[in-house]
């Protein structure tokens, strides 16, 4: 099996290779991200709704799914389910909407799109972050936020959500059950020290900050120093984060807003790097969730990240 997987990952013609090795490869699902076509349509690409962006985890317009269900023809459209993971700012705006009836017109456009999409929604990024940092967050604020999320999930339309009263909906039996489950998970969730991916990204960002401002080396030499640290201290190769690091060293405008808070003379650098590490972890978790949800199913599941944050959207 390992030999077949290696061949599928290295060949220039994965479709033909899959067909040739079908009986050995039939339990494998392969996502190919560099094609001129896809086999699930154009409704699954990233969307910008006014000030908000719904991100896919890759360029889905160029993604081909190869597995035993559709290997005979890559023109067969496959059934795909979407799940939109909400950033913490989205959850907070939902709370403001439900509790205080405060809403920005741009945010309302996003909510209309989400309801019309027919996709699943998830607050897993919020739960993960709240669980790890629960000692630093107001429990009542978390409770109100989680109630607001499940109220929005329950509502069939924006008009129905708008009609909800927080004091009434928080006692709805379905809401109570879901909120109780989440609040319990937050109380007993994995401690921050047991989140190795978060700590890896956090340490990498600290090293990036140190390297960038301690010398006037070229971007290439700064990158070589970072790779030296990765090879001798971190022992983990994080391709996406290292690519972002090089763009930062090279002063690329595409990531200037994301790194904008950690200038050489910035205050509260540690807390800003902490927030950046969470952002990158949530993006990395999109791939993790897609991998785990697509291992046993005939249908395909894609996760998307919804955010208002300008830096992470870039």
In the predicted model, residues of the chain with pLDDT beneath 50 are none
Q: Provide the pLDDT for residue 114.
A: 93
Taking CB atoms within 8 Å and a gap of at least 24, the contacts of 285-291 are 285/85, 285/124, 285/125, 285/128, 286/55, 286/57, 286/85, 287/57, 289/83, 289/85, 289/124, 290/31, 290/57
Q: Provide the pLDDT for residue 59.
A: 79
The DSSP secondary-structure symbol of 230 reads: I
Q: Using alpha carbons, select from 243, 284, 290 the residue that is nearest to residue 44.
A: 290
CA distances from 234 to 149, 220, 226, 280, 299 (A): 37, 20, 10, 17, 37
Calpha distance 67→39 (Å, rounded): 12
Question: Could you count the other beta carbons within 10 Å of the beta carbon of residue 207?
Answer: 17
Whether 186 and 178 have beta carbons less than 8 Å apart is answered as no
Q: Using alpha carbons, select from 56, 119, 52 the residue that is nearest to residue 90.
A: 52
pTM of the model: 0.86
Q: Provide the pLDDT for residue 210.
A: 93
Counting every residue, how long is the chain? 314
- Can you name the residues that pair with 49 across neighbouring β-strands? 52
Residue the block writes with tokens 């309801």: 115
Whether 63 and 56 have beta carbons less than 8 Å apart is answered as no
Calpha distance 95→157 (Å, rounded): 17
């Amino acid at each position: 099996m390992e030999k077949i997987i290696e061949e599928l990952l290295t060949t220039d013609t994965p479709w033909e290779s899959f067909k040739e090795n079908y009986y050995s490869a039939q339990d494998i699902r392969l996502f190919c991200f560099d094609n001129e076509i896809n086999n699930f349509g154009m409704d699954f690409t990233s969307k910008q709704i006014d000030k908000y962006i719904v991100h896919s985890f890759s360029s889905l317009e160029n993604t081909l799914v190869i597995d035993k269900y559709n290997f005979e023809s890559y023109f067969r459209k496959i059934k795909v389910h979407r799940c939109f993971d909400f950033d913490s700012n989205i959850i907070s705006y939902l709370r403001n909407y439900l509790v205080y009836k405060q809403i920005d017109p741009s945010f309302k456009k996003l909510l209309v799109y989400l309801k019309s999409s027919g996709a699943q929604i998830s607050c897993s990024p919020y739960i993960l972050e709240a669980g790890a940092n629960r000692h630093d967050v107001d429990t009542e604020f978390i409770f109100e936020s989680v109630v607001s999320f499940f109220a929005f999930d329950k509502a069939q339309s924006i008009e129905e959500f708008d009609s909800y009263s927080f004091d009434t909906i928080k006692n709805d039996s379905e809401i109570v059950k879901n909120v109780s489950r989440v609040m319990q998970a937050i109380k007993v969730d994995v401690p921050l020290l047991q989140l190795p991916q978060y700590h890896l990204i956090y340490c990498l960002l600290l090293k990036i900050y140190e390297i960038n401002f301690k010398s006037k080396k070229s971007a290439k030499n700064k990158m070589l120093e970072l790779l030296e640290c990765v090879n001798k201290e971190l022992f983990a190769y994080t391709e996406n984060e290292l690519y972002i690091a090089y763009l930062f060293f090279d002063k690329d405008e595409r990531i200037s807003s994301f790194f904008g808070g950690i200038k050489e003379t910035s205050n509260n650098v540690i807390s800003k790097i902490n927030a950046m590490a969470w952002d990158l972890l949530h993006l990395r978790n999109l791939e993790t969730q897609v991998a785990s949800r697509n291992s046993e199913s005939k249908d395909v599941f894609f996760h998307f990240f919804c955010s208002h944050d300008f830096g992470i959207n870039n």
